[in-house]
Amino acid sequence: MSLLEERRGLLRRVLAYVDGSMAGTAPESFEALALDLHAFQARHDPVVRALAEAAPVADWLSIPAVPVDLFKDLPVGTVGEGEAGTVFRTSGTTGSGRGIHRLRDTVAYDRGAQAWHQRCVPDAPQVVVGLLQDPAIAPDSSLSHMVADFGKVSWWLGAEGLDVSGALGAMSGEVPVYVCATAFALAELLETLSAPRPLPRGSVVMVTGGFKGRRQVVSDQDLYQQAQDLLAPDRLLREYGMTELSSQLWADGMAPYRPPPWLRVVAVDPATGRPRPAGRAGQLRFVDLCNVDATVAIETLDQGVVHADGTLTLHGRLAGSEVRGCSLTVEELRERKGSIE
């Protein structure tokens, strides 16, 4: 069976899992599909294969997770440079290069993102004010790609920065609006307000991302309170996603993030890589069934607590010195970069 034939079969199963799990009747087990995706990726991606050779895979928890930093250094995934239908890139604000996520198509990404967004934000207004870059000028932004499907979007973040007056104008009137913003863009807009400017009744605000590489830093709680005080939306949401993943988590206000059924989060000991019990903080790993073309398992540099119900409370970034579990394997992969490429 060819790579493309294998992928078609796995994609059908992933889409069936997304649809079925939303209806409460997943057609197969999460573990079976995760293991088959990993096996496919190990056959066709030298990066995943090299990690898999280091330890046997017995269940979904033992699938080797690719560290996000490797997306900057190596061609992670089963899609060659000239084979991608879509390429998403990280922002690169830290100055250490941009991670690259190549997809043959966005079918699984779109199906999962739309289904989970509709479940988490069923009342979302269709007039969307994007404090984000227009995908026409930033086609490699996975965030803008996702938000473009939320409704009729006006985009207010350009090469010259945030168009505050244009964004505020788009938020005016009587029609409910859905403000989708990065944390930094929202903080910049709120800074310009000397008095409350309530949004139209029924409006929703979604904020995502943090302040990596920025001098100005506002805590989640402070930003949430400022948005409530100055914009008074009917609902304020937080979204957590990554360029290297294909699924997102959503949260109401400061409540824990909720992952969709096809995404599982594990907190591990950063020194050993072993899973920690529910309720104990650790380094975060994600197993994402919609990540068909890259790797089903991702290891981040974020830390947090995974609760017994699978929801997630973020605790910020890990210090680099804390991460020990897979460092040797990562260094070996970087040394083998030429043969992998």
Q: What is the pLDDT of residue 320?
A: 60
Distance CA 163, CA 168 (A): 9
DSSP, collapsed to helix, strand or coil, labels residue 128 as strand
How does residue 333 score in pLDDT terms, banded at 50, 70 and 90? Answer: very low
Q: What is the pLDDT of residue 329?
A: 45
User: 332 pLDDT exceeds 80?
Assistant: no
Quick: pLDDT tens for 26-73. Answer: 999 999 999 999 999 999 999 999 999 887 899 999 999 999 989 998
User: What number is the average pLDDT over the span 187-204?
Assistant: 96
Q: What pLDDT was estimated at residue 237?
A: 96
Average pLDDT over residues 182-192: 94
pLDDT of 325 > 70? The answer is: no
Element spanning 109, H or E: helix 107-120
CB-CB contact of 225 with 90 (8 Å) = no
Average pLDDT of the chain to the nearest whole number: 90
Query: Is there a contact between 306 and 253 (Cβ–Cβ < 8 Å)?
Result: no
Q: Which CATH class is domain 3-82+261-340?
A: mainly beta
d(CA 45, CA 183) in angstroms, rounded, equals 34
d(CA 38, CA 52): 9
pLDDT given for residue 192 in this prediction: 95
SS3 266: strand
> Which CATH superfamily is 110-252 part of?
ANL, N-terminal domain (3.40.50.12780)
Res 73: pLDDT:
87
Residue 214 is predicted with a pLDDT of 45
What is the share, in percent, of the chain residues with pLDDT greater than 70?
89
Note the maximum CA span of the chain.
64
**Between 73 and 337, the higher pLDDT residue:** 73
Q: Is it the case that residue 341 has pLDDT exceeding 90?
A: no
Q: At what angle do helices 30-44 and 46-53 cross, to 10 degrees?
A: 110
H-run or E-run covering 198: none
Q: What are phi and psi of 177, to 5 degrees?
A: -120, 155
pTM: 0.90
Q: How confident is the model at residue 323 (pLDDT cuts 50, 70, 90)?
A: very low
- 194 in Cβ contact with 188 (< 8 Å): no
| Greater pLDDT, 113 or 218 | 113
pLDDT, mean of residues 226-252? 96
For the segment 112-140, what is each residue's pLDDT rounded down to a tens digit? Answer: 999 999 999 999 999 999 999 999 889 99
Lowest mean pLDDT among 51-60, 87-96, 154-163, 326-335: 326-335
Query: Is residue 322 over pLDDT 80?
Result: no
* 248-300: pLDDT as tens digits: 999 999 999 999 999 999 999 998 889 999 999 999 999 999 999 999 999 99
- How sure is the predictor about 217, in pLDDT bands with cuts at 50, 70 and 90? low
In the chain, domain spans: 3-82+261-340, 110-252
